[in-house]
């Protein structure tokens, strides 16, 4: 697992943000910019791998880390933030919608969980 996180930090288009509870890292999210040669999408970025450990849920970390990603995106000059999420992640969907993310599409075969297809929902938000 350590190699994965070291690898994330080596990719210049990726910014890793972490959330802590009582000094322990328990939440992560990544801000991913398009490659430098993709000028047509240089205004946008992807919020991905947003996760809060089950034991740390209920403390506002999910909202806090999304807001931190948005702030970092603004700092980097991003004006549009995109994300995708499985349809079964109801709490995450409600969080994104409460923060102003707009649903623009559904992929019916986004993921397979226990041998079953799970749809994925795609959202975007214009950052002011």
Question: 70 phi and psi, to 5 degrees?
Answer: -60, -45
Q: Rounded to 5 degrees, what are φ and ψ at 88?
A: -80, -10
Confidence (pLDDT) at 1: 57
Q: Domain containing 121: what range? A: 2-126
Looking at residue 21, what is its pLDDT?
94
Return the pLDDT at 36: 86
Q: What percent of the residues of the chain are helix, what percent strand, and what percent coil, each to the nearest 5?
A: 30, 45, 25
Q: How many domains does the chain have?
A: 1
Q: In what order do the strands lie in the sheet with 44-52?
A: 14-21, 24-32, 44-52, 80-86, 116-126, 102-113
The CATH number assigned to the domain holding 50 equals 3.40.630.30
Q: What is the pLDDT of residue 104?
A: 98
Distance CA 77, CA 1 (A): 31
User: pLDDT tens digits, the chain, 128 residues: what are they?
Assistant: 567 767 777 777 899 999 999 999 999 999 999 988 889 998 999 999 999 999 999 999 999 999 999 999 999 999 999 999 999 999 999 999 999 999 999 999 999 999 999 999 999 999 98
What is residue 2's predicted lDDT score, i.e. its pLDDT?
A: 66
What pLDDT is attached to residue 5?
66
């Amino acid at each position: 697992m350590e190699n994965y996180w070291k690898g994330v930090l080596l990719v210049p288009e990726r910014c890793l943000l972490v959330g802590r509870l009582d000094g322990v890292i328990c939440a992560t999210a990544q801000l991913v910019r398009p490659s430098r040669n993709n000028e047509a999408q240089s205004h946008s970025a992807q919020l991905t791998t947003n996760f809060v450990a089950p034991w740390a849920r209920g403390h506002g970390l999910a909202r806090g880390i999304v807001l931190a990603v948005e702030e970092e995106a603004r700092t980097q000059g991003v004006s549009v933030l995109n994300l995708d999420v499985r349809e079964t992640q109801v709490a995450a969907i409600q969080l994104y919608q409460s923060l102003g993310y707009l649903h623009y599409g559904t992929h019916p075969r986004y993921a397979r969980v226990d041998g079953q297809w799970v749809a994925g929902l795609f959202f975007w938000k214009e950052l002011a």
